[in-house]
Amino acid sequence: MSDDVKTRIAARAAEELRPGEVVNLGIGIPNLIPALLAGGSGVVLHTENGLLGVGPPPAGDELDPDLIDAAKRPITALPGAAYFDSAASFAMIRGGHIDVAVLGALEVSAAGDIANWAVPGKDVLGVGGAMDLVVGAKRVIVTMTATSSSGAPKVVATCGYPLTASGAADVIVTELSVFRLVDGELRLTELLGDATVEDVEEATAAPFVVSLVESHAHR
Amino acid sequence: MTATTTTTSAEEAISVVRSGDTVMVGGFGLVGAPLALIDALVEASDATGLTIVSNNIGEPGRGLGKLLRQGRIRRGISSYFTSNPEAVAAVNAGTIEATLVPQGTFAEAIRAGGAGIGGFYTPVGAGTELAAGKEERLIDGVAHVLEAPIRADVALVYAARADMLGNLWYRRTARNFNPLMATAARVTIAEAGEIVPVGELEPEDVVTPHLYVDTLVASA
């Protein structure tokens, strides 16, 4: 996956975020979003290790070893930021106080089931806050490439990897398209770049309804 | 646990840890981890067969990663072992037992443990393999999983500043699991970056009131 593809996916996902929304960004593609948000985006970033009001990465002389995000990268805190412990942070998440979670996934099913924490046979033994976030956030935006590095579609009829949560995804952004889950239905609502419906069909292993209500207007 | 807090060395404080104990260790990765207490546990204690409750098992050769290399961890209860590939390898090799818990459930279970709550239902994890074998029930039509509280014999926490009574103040994101763990163990040992006289912490700024803290150790 080239950086250009990742950045395009992140940029389209960033357009989903509205001023005033409290947003939690996962590791990977979502972490590209802060650099893409306009200065006046009004989006408030939450990190589950205990900060509301995440600012841009620090300049060299501002580096503070006590100030990191959930990806363990150095960050800054904006004026008006608040710190809290991990139980309070996840109470915010489960309690429905986080508007949007943007995160990566290995697979998303046509029913919005998300698999993003475990690959059988791989040396990964961590779930972190993924399950809490997809269950608790009011809106869940999945950012991922349409297919895996081996070319397998990642939007699937039924997840094969261990589930993170059932029916949790609201929006799926790939380099080819935007899907929305509405009333239990997977809808292709937007084509990105030069992608065609046929391109999306080829890269998708689930039935979907073509419902191109959006256009290339902001491309 | 009493209202009296003793100030001592890390080596002396850590001597309460016995083989087979459950030990909670604060920190998100190494940020907010009580590194002097961990070093004392590594160098000045021979307690083994430990159950470690910590969000991560350190990093390779750092923090709890040192204790792992000594083969003194029998079981880990964590949300993210992956930050130490040696811990994942030890689990895969069967030399340590792993209990993987969603991070919010991990935090809430410790909070519950310290607050006298016998368990709680959460929607997180329902229908996934992390809920296998746990009681599930529908609450308002949504599947919830019954989670047990987590307590420990000893909690090792880090605070940037403490007063001589053991009141604790945390700095920035180094707070994380520390205030929760301070409440949930039979003995809580707090490592402080700075220890100030009683009265120098504003009462409103105290995050962990001193009744939770049994022993205070200066970082340096």
Which of A1-10, A18-27, A168-177, B114-123 is predicted with the least confidence, judged by mean pLDDT?
A: A1-10
Residue A61 has pLDDT above 90, yes or no: no
pTM: 0.96
Rounded to an integer, the average pLDDT of A61-81 is 94
Q: Does B105 touch chain A (CB under 8 A)?
A: yes
Residue A106 has pLDDT above 70, yes or no: yes
Q: Does B134 touch chain A (CB under 8 A)?
A: no
Give the confidence band of A1 by pLDDT, cuts at 50, 70, 90: low
CATH code that applies to domain B6-218: 3.40.1080.10
Residue A143's beta-bridge partner residues?
Answer: A173
To the nearest whole Å, the CA of B96 is away from the closest chain A CA by: 13
Residue A219: the pLDDT is: 43
Tokens of B76: 């880990």
What value, to the nearest 5°, has the Cα angle with vertex B144 and ends B141 and B146?
145
Q: What are the sequence ranges of the domains in chain A?
A: 3-210
User: Strand A51-55 and strand B152-163: pairing?
Assistant: unpaired
How far apart (Å, rounded) are the C-alpha atoms in residues A177 and A206? 14
Residue A207: the pLDDT is: 97
Residue A3: the pLDDT is: 84
Contact A129 B79 (CB under 8 A): yes
Catalytic member of A16, A21, A48, A62: A48
Residue B62: the pLDDT is: 98
Rounded to an integer, the average pLDDT of A125-152 is 97
Tokens of A114: 């998300």
- Window B:145-164, CB contacts with A under 8 Å: 160
From the candidate CATH numbers 3.40.50.1460, 1.10.357.10, 1.10.10.10, 3.40.1080.10, the one assigned to the domain spanning A3-210: 3.40.1080.10
Q: Does B171 touch chain A (CB under 8 A)?
A: yes
User: Mean pLDDT in each 10-residue stretch from start to end of chain B (220 residues)?
Assistant: 78 98 98 98 98 98 98 98 96 96 98 98 97 97 98 98 98 98 98 97 98 95
A190: how many CB neighbours lie within 10 A of its CB? 22
| A15 among known catalytic residues | no
